[in-house]
Structure 1
Amino acid sequence: MRVLRVRDFRLLWMARLVAGVGAGLLVVAIPAHVYAVTGSVMATGFTLAAEYLPVFLLGPYAGVWADRWDRRRLMIATDLVHVVSVAVVLLGRTPDTVWLVYLAMLGEGTAGVLFRPAAQAHTPAVVGTGELLKDANTLSAFTTGAIGLAAPPLGGLLYATAGADAVVGVAIGCYLLSALALSRTRSRASPVSVPSPLSRTPGRARHLSALLSRTRASARDRTVRTALQQAPATRVLLVVNGVYLLANAALTALLVPFAISRLDGSTGVGYLLSALGAGFLLGAPIIRHVQLSLRAAVSGGMALVAAAFFALFNAPSLLLALIAATLVGIPGVGVLVTVQTWVQRSTPGEILGRVSAVFLTVEAAVALLGALTGPLLAEGAGLTVALNAACTLTLGAAALALRLPRRASTPWTAGNAVQAD
């Protein structure tokens, strides 16, 4: 892809790739480690809660920091926090010390919530807001799908064959490589000039105190709200995306019990997840050639996702279920790329980190809510009712997307590109 000819993006993409692999290896390995140590399903579930907690606590502030600090240095620092946090996992080897694993997951979640808005806001600064931005987001989506497909089972296999020490060691190596790649990119001026907390001037503590005070004020001020009020498409997109991801989280939480009870047991789970990942990979290159308005891309994509999920959960055979699962991923990646690219294109650079953090915080909130309400509804009304209710909610998000402006241009048809090195 042409965007890989841009040196700084190439390094940024490589950093996100290896960091994503490191995080993906832990998805299966850490819960497996906790379950092996404690034998408790509840204790294992706490690892997920520990990772989500920082998103709720730090989500609004993460965007402020991404806008006010040097994003390159912030991403490098979060990689190093990942290294320390993952290393702490090795200390939780008994039921009495498993709390250290939860502490490690808190650190892991904190680093992740700081890294994501910084990386999203940094991408347009590297490649510009023209055609290359679409290519950059498409490549990122493709990479995310590939990692999601391969890294978790590889982490589980590595854990089963070599133990937690090996998984943690590889993850640490990935994060160090990510930090190294980022360190080789060119430094870029911060969107807002503020005293750096890493400055070695005599007034460092005073500068840090002032920065934290401004951070708290910025998280509460009306800058982002005003920007959203003045951008009706982005405001509607925030609500639509939240409803869509709520339904998607519920569906994801129900996939495993569905596959075990309706398909081919645990083998069916593996096939189903692989089919979803394959659809995601197929969709990434397809979306590069699609030219639609914002409303058509979002509403149409969500409607196709809902239809594919309906087909999946009502399929009479494993083969048809796998075909439907593949079809879920193709429009799914289109919705993801469209939303992300629109936000990057339509938001002023000086507040892009904060607006990205708003979207990410809503995403985390509805993901946790959907993961709880989906199984809860299945317990009370049955799995079939819960699955079809979540599909209906996805279709509702598509209908809600019709409120997007009719003439809002597709998010990759305007703007200036960056010349490749």
Structure 2
Amino acid sequence: MLQALRIRDFRLLWFARSVSLLGSWLLVVAIPAHVLHLTGSLAATGLTLAAEFLPPVLLGPIAGVLVDRWDRRRVMVLADVLRAVAIGLLLVVRDPGDVWLVYAALVAESVGTVCFRPAAQAHTPVVVGTGPALSGANSLNAVTDGVVRLVGGPAGGALLGVAGFHVLVWADVATYLLSAVAVLATARRTAGPRRRGGVRAVFVELGEGLVFLRGERTASALFVVNGVFLCANASLTALLVPFGVRQLGGTGGTGLVLSALGVGFLLGAPLVRVLVDRLPPGHLLGASLAGTAVGFVLLFGSASLGAALPSAVLVGAFGSLSLVVAQTLVQRVTPNPVLGRVGAVLFTGEAVATFVGALAGPVVAEATSVAAAALVACGATVFAAVLAVVLVPRSPMRVERPEPEAPSVR
């Protein structure tokens, strides 16, 4: 994982991604808690999550076209500035009549994230190449995600009580601005051919990305596999808090389970670096999804916190392995000129699958039971594992080792 950090531009890109992610996680608990405090409404609080789902579903593919049309470094900087301004709107939310500004701010922030995420993913292979440094870079990002999950939410909840909501908002604004500065410090890259045209040209280019996705076996298989898995994962995520409150000793026990998931992410990242370049990708992805399903069964079958915690670590480890393997495969099989569009379409599919799963899990649980809903989700995860073995190429992927693209001298 440290190989990628030897590359200056990746260090800056990694810092930008990490610091902005930490700022966002500081508000994961604080924003819903603030809305609940102002309104006392569970429905109003739940809309904070829905507001973040809307832009990826509606704008994801179009954002991918723009990422491939424009300079990705500039896209990331503008996205960070947009996110900083959007989150700054939360500073004027002081009574129930202002809550609409929360939703507007979250939608605008999510628009920025929809642009930043595919731009960063498409720019990473340009900076580090597509050889072992790429899997190391993705593994390092997975480690970062694990650390942020482990400390960000609990830290934000603790700071909310000590420092107050506005201090956390200012902290998040500062992280987005730091991210923009870090991206600006990276070297300018040689620009590709400049694309011109209006709305029609945008949709033509989007069609090019969809044609590639449909024709490229690995990428199209991952679209299906990830969709099934993330739908199942979201359904169980929606049930985790009520399950923890009823079965694991309340909110305190549930918080420990979330931390255990973060520990699992930390453990899964080194496995990616060791295994992704050595094993057949379809078998590796299928095995990691099967391991995630086993973890789900053990977690939602736990009768005590002591049994739930190692199960959550297992889910985090195999779940992170599944996601990072899929991301690395997409980056390697997709030509960089269309990687932004393909990545954005995949992100949109993930958002739709997550949204459907988050709605379906509670509905199934209400109609039957949490245990039955968990079994359905575990079955879907096993199905995703089978699809990965059948659809994703079984032979080890040829790893190219081009030098990272040279910075522009102009």
Q: Above 0.5 in TM-score?
A: yes
Following the alignment from structure 1 to structure 2, what is the Cα–Cα distance between the partners of residues 78 and 67? 15
- SS where residue 29 of structure 2 aligns? helix
Which residue of structure 2 aligns with residue 109 of structure 1? Answer: 110
> Quick one: which of 313, 320, 339 aligns to 1:326?
313
Structure 1 residues 81, 243: CA separation in 2 closer, same or farther (over 3 Å shift)?
Answer: same
Asked if structure 1 preserves the Cα contact closer than 8 Å seen for 2:260 and 2:312, the reply is: yes
Give the distance between the partners of 2:352 and 2:378, measured in 1 at CA: 19
| 1:228 maps onto 2:207 in alignment | no
Q: Among 380, 388, 402, which residue is 1:416 paired with?
A: 402
Matched, 1:12 2:16: no
Number of the residue aligned with 1:202: none
Q: Distance in 2 between matches of 1:114 and 1:12?
A: 15
Look up the equivalent residue of 1:66 and give its one-letter code: V
* Structure 1 residue aligned with 2:271: 286
Instruction: Report the counterpart of residue 184 of structure 2 in structure 1.
Output: 183
What does the per-residue CA deviation read over 1:77-116, in whole Å, with 9 as the maximum and x for residues that have no partner?
0110011100101122111111111111111111011110
Equivalent residue, structure 2, for 1:139: 140
Are 2:299 and 1:298 equivalent residues in the alignment?
no
Describe the shift of the 1:171–1:405 C-alpha distance in structure 2 as closer, same or farther (beyond 3 A).
Answer: closer
Please say if residues 279 and 327 of structure 1, whose CA atoms lie closer than 8 Å, have aligned partners that are also in contact: yes
SS class of match (2:97) = coil
Q: Decide whether the 8 Å contact of 1:192 with 1:350 is kept in 2.
A: no
Shift of 1:251: 1.0
- Cα deviation for residue 159 of structure 1 reads 1.4
Instruction: Determine whether 1:370 maps to 2:371.
Output: no
Amino acid of the structure 1 residue aligned with 2:291: L
CA contact (8 A) 2:272 2:321 kept: yes
Q: 2:79–2:112: 8 Å Cα contact kept in structure 1?
A: yes
Q: CA deviation at 1:420?
A: 12
* Alpha-carbon offset, residue 266 of structure 1: 1.2
Secondary structure of 1:77's counterpart equals helix
- Secondary structure at the aligned position of 1:194 is classed as coil
CA displacement at 1:164 relative to structure 2: 1.3
Measured in 1, the distance between the counterparts of 2:110 and 2:193 equals 26
Contact map agreement 1:66 1:118 (CA 8 A) in 2? yes
Q: How does 1:20-419 map to 2 (within 5 A)?
A: 20-194=21-195, 210-219=197-206, 221=207, 223-290=208-275, 291-410=278-397, 413-418=399-404
Residue 186 of structure 2 aligns to a residue whose secondary structure is coil
Q: Hey, what does 1:206 align to over in structure 2?
A: none
* Structure 2 letter corresponding to 1:416: P
Contact 2:245–2:254 under 8 Å retained in 1: yes
Q: Deviation digits for residues 182-224 of structure 1, max 9, x if unmatched?
A: 11001113444136xxxxxxxxxxxxxx3444223323x2x12
After superposition, the C-alpha distances for 1:204-258 in whole angstroms (9 at most, x for unaligned) are xxxxxx3444223323x2x123212331122111101100110011111111111
| TM-score scaled by length of structure 2 | 0.95
How many angstroms apart in 1 are the aligned matches of 2:180 and 2:121? 16
Q: Which runs of 5+ in 1 are unaligned?
A: 196-209
1:417 to partner: Cα distance: 4.8
Q: Deviations over 1:325-363 (max 9, x none)?
A: 111111111111110000000001110000000110001
State the SS of the aligned residue for 1:371: helix
Aligned equivalents of 1:241, 1:359: Cα separation in 2: 9
Alpha-carbon distance, 1:418 to partner: 4.0
> What's the RMSD between the two structures over aligned residues?
1.7
The one-letter code matched in structure 2 to 1:392 is G
Determine the C-alpha separation between the residues in 2 that align with 1:405 and 1:269: 35
Deviation at 1:153, TM superposition (A): 1.6
Asked if the contact 2:286/2:389 (under 8 Å) is kept, the reply is: yes
Would the aligned equivalents of 1:240 and 1:400 in 2 still touch at CA under 8 Å?
yes
CA distance in 2, matches of 1:62, 1:229: 19
Calculate percent identity across the aligned residue pairs.
47
CA shift, 1:404, in A, is 2.1
**Cα pair 2:261 2:312 within 8 Å, conserved:** yes
Question: Which secondary structure state, in structure 1, belongs to the residue aligned with residue 98 of structure 2?
Answer: coil
Using the alignment, how far apart are the partners of 1:149 and 1:300 within structure 2?
25
* Residue identity opposite 2:316 in structure 1: G
- The separation in 2 between residues aligned to 1:47 and 1:339, in whole angstroms, is 29
Secondary structure of the corresponding residue to residue 175 of structure 1: helix
Give distance in 2, aligned partners of 1:281 and 1:407.
27
Rounded Cα–Cα distance in structure 1 between residues aligned with 2:192 and 2:292: 37
The letter of the residue matching 2:250 is G
Name the amino acid aligned to 2:338: I
Partners of 1:191 and 1:212 lie apart in 2 by 20
Cα deviation digits, residues 30-49 of structure 1 (max 9, x gap):
11111111111100111111
Instruction: Give TM-score, length-normalised by structure 1.
Output: 0.93
Residue 171 to residue 70, structure 1, CA distance change in 2 (3 Å) = same
Would you say the 8 A contact 2:118–2:343 is kept in 1?
yes
Q: Is the 8 Å Cα contact of residues 282 and 393 (structure 2) preserved in structure 1?
A: yes
Offset of residue 313 of structure 1: 1.2
Aligned residues: 404
